[in-house]
Protein backbone atom coordinates (compact mmCIF):
# COMPACT_ATOMS: atom_id res chain seq x y z
CA UNK A 1 0.00 0.00 0.00
CA UNK A 2 1.29 3.44 -0.91
CA UNK A 3 -0.26 6.92 -0.74
CA UNK A 4 -1.77 6.69 -4.22
CA UNK A 5 -3.33 3.32 -3.42
CA UNK A 6 -4.81 4.71 -0.22
CA UNK A 7 -6.35 7.66 -2.04
CA UNK A 8 -7.87 5.36 -4.66
CA UNK A 9 -9.63 3.44 -1.86
CA UNK A 10 -10.63 6.46 0.21
CA UNK A 11 -14.31 6.49 -0.71
CA UNK A 12 -14.71 2.75 -0.18
CA UNK A 13 -12.87 3.09 3.13
CA UNK A 14 -15.42 5.55 4.46
CA UNK A 15 -18.32 3.64 2.92
CA UNK A 16 -17.06 0.51 4.74
CA UNK A 17 -16.79 -1.35 1.45
CA UNK A 18 -13.22 -2.68 1.80
CA UNK A 19 -12.08 -6.19 2.43
CA UNK A 20 -10.50 -6.90 5.78
CA UNK A 21 -7.15 -7.27 4.03
CA UNK A 22 -7.34 -3.82 2.40
CA UNK A 23 -8.41 -2.24 5.68
CA UNK A 24 -5.39 -3.82 7.38
CA UNK A 25 -3.09 -2.56 4.62
CA UNK A 26 -4.43 0.96 5.07
CA UNK A 27 -3.96 0.69 8.82
CA UNK A 28 -0.37 -0.46 8.37
CA UNK A 29 0.34 2.29 5.85
CA UNK A 30 -1.13 5.09 7.97
CA UNK A 31 0.83 3.88 11.00
CA UNK A 32 3.96 5.02 9.17
CA UNK A 33 2.63 7.80 6.94
CA UNK A 34 1.73 11.06 8.64
CA UNK A 35 0.38 12.55 5.40
CA UNK A 36 -2.17 9.78 4.86
CA UNK A 37 -3.09 9.79 8.54
CA UNK A 38 -3.92 13.49 8.21
CA UNK A 39 -5.95 12.80 5.04
CA UNK A 40 -7.99 10.10 6.79
CA UNK A 41 -8.54 12.16 9.93
CA UNK A 42 -9.47 15.34 8.06
CA UNK A 43 -11.82 13.50 5.72
CA UNK A 44 -13.45 11.75 8.68
CA UNK A 45 -13.93 15.05 10.51
CA UNK A 46 -15.41 16.67 7.40
CA UNK A 47 -17.87 13.82 6.96
CA UNK A 48 -18.90 14.08 10.62
CA UNK A 49 -19.53 17.83 10.33
CA UNK A 50 -21.71 17.46 7.25
CA UNK A 51 -23.41 14.29 8.43
CA UNK A 52 -25.00 16.21 11.29
CA UNK A 53 -26.31 18.69 8.74
CA UNK A 54 -26.53 21.29 11.48
CA UNK A 55 -26.89 24.96 10.70
CA UNK A 56 -24.63 27.16 12.75
CA UNK A 57 -25.87 30.65 13.47
CA UNK A 58 -23.22 33.35 13.70
CA UNK A 59 -23.52 36.89 14.88
CA UNK A 60 -23.89 39.63 12.27
CA UNK A 61 -20.48 41.00 13.27
CA UNK A 62 -18.75 37.66 12.74
CA UNK A 63 -20.61 37.17 9.45
CA UNK A 64 -19.37 40.57 8.23
CA UNK A 65 -15.76 39.88 9.29
CA UNK A 66 -15.80 36.51 7.53
CA UNK A 67 -17.30 38.03 4.40
CA UNK A 68 -14.72 40.82 4.38
CA UNK A 69 -11.84 38.38 4.87
CA UNK A 70 -13.06 36.12 2.05
CA UNK A 71 -13.58 39.05 -0.31
CA UNK A 72 -10.13 40.44 0.50
CA UNK A 73 -8.54 37.07 -0.36
CA UNK A 74 -10.53 36.84 -3.60
CA UNK A 75 -9.55 40.35 -4.67
CA UNK A 76 -5.91 39.75 -3.77
CA UNK A 77 -5.77 36.78 -6.17
CA UNK A 78 -6.88 38.87 -9.14
Q: CA 43, CA 69: separation in Å to the nearest integer?
A: 25
Give the DSSP H or E segment for 45.
helix 34-52
Residue 58 CA: distances (Å) to CA of 49, 54, 61, 71, 78? 16, 13, 8, 18, 29
Identify the pLDDT of residue 22: 96
Identify the pLDDT of residue 32: 96
The domain ranges of the chain are 3-77
Identify the pLDDT of residue 38: 94
Spell out, as residue ranges, where the chain has pLDDT lower than 70. 54, 78
Residue 64 CA: distances (Å) to CA of 13, 27, 31, 61? 38, 43, 42, 5
Identify the pLDDT of residue 78: 67
pTM of the shown model: 0.62
Q: Under the phi-then-psi rule, with left for phi > 0, alpha for psi from -120 to 50, and beta for the rest, what region is 56? A: beta
Amino acid sequence: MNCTDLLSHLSDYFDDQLTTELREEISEHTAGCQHCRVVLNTTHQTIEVYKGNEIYEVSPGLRERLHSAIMAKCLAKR
